[in-house]
Structure 1
Amino acid sequence: MARGAAVHGFADDRHRVGPVDETQLRELIPRVLAVLVHRGADFATAEDVVQEALIRAVETWSERPPDDPKGWLITTAWRRYIDLARSDAARRDREHAIGTEPPPGPTESADDTLQLYFLCAHPSLSPASAVALTLRAVGGLTTRQIAQAYMVPEATMAQRISRAKRTVSDVRLDQLGDLRAVLKVLYLVFNEGYSGDVDLASEAIRLARQLFASTDDPEVAGLLALFLLHHARRDARTRADGSLVPLAEQDRGLWRTDLIAEGVNVLQAALARDRLGEYQAQAAIAALHADAQTAEETDWVQIVEWYDELVALTDSPVARLNRAVAIGEADGPQAGLAALAELDPSLPRHTAAVAYFHERAGDVETAADLYAKAAEQAHSMAERNHLTLRAATLRRG
């Protein structure tokens, strides 16, 4: 079998066939793949045979869907794996070990999906490779979709995913992995936002929901709440021309109250367990922003307190920067400038924050110069345009 061929076939077929539920198929992918790996299949081959099973599903389910879709996919993929093992002379010893039937004991539990998350976030993988493999194996996205989302050539992404699969192909799923690494991978996915035809923010929420259903760890709940609360403000973050809208200027009528309510409920249940983590702290800050009917009503004093918690948990330079900004909002621009002066000026957005508080303090000339400097340091075109426009506005005014 040509490795990877099934991926593109499924990508083409699934958009062509109507009666097959694409969402259902994508949600089954990690569960089926995890079962095969748990039974002893190497990761790369398991992923290939699952894709072949998906193609067969698209071809046959439109006429008569099975009563047990997951069981059908597992059986079809496992039989294909056995056929490959038998036909490959280099795998004859392995074939004797795995036999033709799955090993005894429960292998189709929800824990299998959780183990797959751990595998994709294995410490031997770079963050970029872990993200790509998670989107491929757990998210069910095609290589083309992932490449478009990260704006790299499809061949480059295919090589990255292939190397990642080879790296974890011999990793056994007989012990727990690092849940914090899994959460970090999903956090990276969410922060990519939207690009191409894949909405990575929505995809990260979908995967976080899966993980939330598989474990009762309060930090998983905190991460899901954080995603929901941030995503609720998405429609208000940009104007029709693509320019950024600062939080204080956003039309709060565009914020999605359903996501805010869900996020707050998930967060409250997590905080009640009294096992605070960094994602719960970040979600609490997002919830305070969401709770304010206007920018002026924002409880900045309490936000500073939550940033104190976050800094204590992570000692993150970015958290310290955001805490300094919150201090300036709570206690005035001079307090904000004093807090920023204690931090490394090379931090991302440090210059923009200093410019903002100089503007608040009435020193518009200094603010304009700093906004222009911050624009040169910006990491995105939208941010650069926003800061450049702010500098020009102050200089005209």
Structure 2
Amino acid sequence: MHIDNLTFNDTASQFGIFINAAYSSQSPGATDVETNVTDSVKLLLDSAYGAKNIRIQINHDVWPTAASRDKFLTMFKNLWDKGFSPAVNILWNQPGSQYAFADSTAYAAFVSEILDSIDNRSNTGEHMKPGIVVVENEETNASNYINTTQAALNKYLGMLRQAAIVCHNKSVKITNGGIVCFLASALTWNWLKSTYDTSVANTWARKVFKQDFVDDLNAGTYTSLINLGKYLVGKYALVNYLSYINIHWYEPVIARYWPEDSTSPYDPPYNKNPDNLVAGALDSTIQYFNTAIPSLKLITNETGQLGYSQSLTNNMVNKYRSFYTNGGNFPIVIWYDGDADESEVISGAKALHNTISTTSYTLRNSGTKFENKMN
């Protein structure tokens, strides 16, 4: 059952997976390296979890190469035939390398070519298409793009507008690349300060940031970033045919930008619970975005956990489910299933699985819990 037929009335229809490299255990040894499983094994792992959505990606640099193009289209069809609705990140360049935003006309033509190529792979008469197209990845992330100034983001907005027209004409949903957790949180702090007062905003900020960051917010260190984010959000509200607003979010959120050489957020004086979401953090962020853009609900094509706790997995799935059933936010939730670098003990994402080899994996306790929640 594909995305157009999903009512999101069950958890598996709401959730998806983004499989990435993982260590062979939760306690990697000195010689252990992050390893990805092959595409064929990814299909098995995807099916094991039981979620109905999955994130895959293609970029313009490799598309002209027949082998790369065929690999992507074959993967898409294999996923489609198994009942998945792939969420497709369409990138202009290789992920992991800084590059400039593309010409909007060229990007829109690329999106159109991909969608036509996917549909042409159908051999059943059924129209094949992504569950959603995601335009680039983390559009304000300076690690991804050479320039993230307002002028550069105007170019990105042009890409988004033109791609949205293409997707609308082909009855495909579309969203932005993903507002990162830090910016989403800073925008929420600024909104709370404007709507209520500084005290309310700072009380909330201490839920999601170490005190140093809260001090920096009040000192104006992030004013330019916040203004850029407000500009972008305001422009998203004006993009015709945009389906959702996409944010990226990890829990417990206070750990996401926590310095690794500092005391833990789970110790005094913060005493956050490693087995649960930070209470009220994401709730207020939803309020901000729903107020800023009332016409669009939130989704996330990248969320995940910053620890191995299966209780955290359970609570996150329940919370996202609640957000959808009580307000319609997050009809699409795609879980990042990969390990950050071993040095990111506190702040890094943790996979749901162990990659034993490129052709072998086991589920961690968190992965087994995720699987149970989907079934």
Indicate whether the TM-score tops 0.5.
Answer: no
TM-score of the two chains, using structure 2 as the length reference: 0.26
Q: Highest relative contact order (Cα 8 Å, sep 6+), 1 or 2?
A: 2
Q: Which has the higher helix share?
A: 1
Q: Which has the higher strand share?
A: 2
Q: Which has the larger radius of gyration?
A: 1
TM-score of the two chains, using structure 1 as the length reference: 0.25
